[in-house]
Structure 1
Amino acid sequence: MKDLLFEALNIDHWGEFWWIVIGLLGQAMFTGRFLVQWLASEKARKSVVPVAFWWFSIGGGLILLAYAVARHDPVFIIGQATGLFIYIRNLWLIRAERRAG
């Protein structure tokens, strides 16, 4: 069973398996952020980006960055690191707007 699983995932050991699980968790968080945004927009009957969207983005981004580092993928590392900066900046802007208003 283990050999079949490893072959299907193109991996050699359990450490790689767990990194795939972590990567899938990060990807699930990204899916969650789109579901949160879609449901909020449907409820408001207009396009809405709730704060939870940015928190899911940060969570998924951090997990996927860890995955990319573990897999030694420079393209994925750069993409996730850049995204994290943008997500954090959006939360910072939301916080500043709420304090001012």
Structure 2
Amino acid sequence: MVADIMHGLGAYLASLFAGPVDLVVLVGLLGQALFTARFLVQWVASERAGRSVIPVSFWFFSLGGSAVLLGYALYRRDPVFILGQSLGTVIYLRNLALVFREKRERGG
């Protein structure tokens, strides 16, 4: 039974990647790559600091990935994806505003 499920899943995934890749899919993959890169940036920054930190670049990668994925979702007309990325985009913009406000208040 488990083997049948795994075989079916493998066949399904193979069918997704077997056809030609269009530009829209490449844009979606770019957005996902940006979104994933934010975790690598955060991980490296935390390892260097020896504690958990969230660098400003994390928010820029988050915003960039979210914006590209939102565009992809709008093109695909996927309401679940659109709602999820819309909220994230607002949150990332707000966090960047807070970061820059703090820098301005500190005089930097």
TM-score interval, smaller chain? 0.7 to 0.9
Determine which structure has more spread, i.e. the larger CA radius of gyration.
2
Segments of 5+ residues of structure 2 without an aligned counterpart are 1-13
TM-score, length-normalised on structure 1? 0.84
Normalization by structure 2: what TM-score?
A: 0.79
For 1:8 and 1:19, locate their aligned partners in 2 and report how far apart those are by CA, in whole Å: 18
1:4 aligned residue = none
Q: 1:41 maps to what in 2?
A: 46
Matched, 1:82 2:75: no
Alignment of 1:69 with 2:74, yes or no, is yes
Counterpart residue number, 1:9: 16
Name the CA distance, whole Å, in 2 between partners of 1:19 and 1:9: 14
Q: CA deviation at 1:9?
A: 2.9
Residue 31 of structure 1 corresponds to: 36
Map of 2:56 onto structure 1: 51
Displaced runs of 4+ in structure 1, greater than 4 A? none
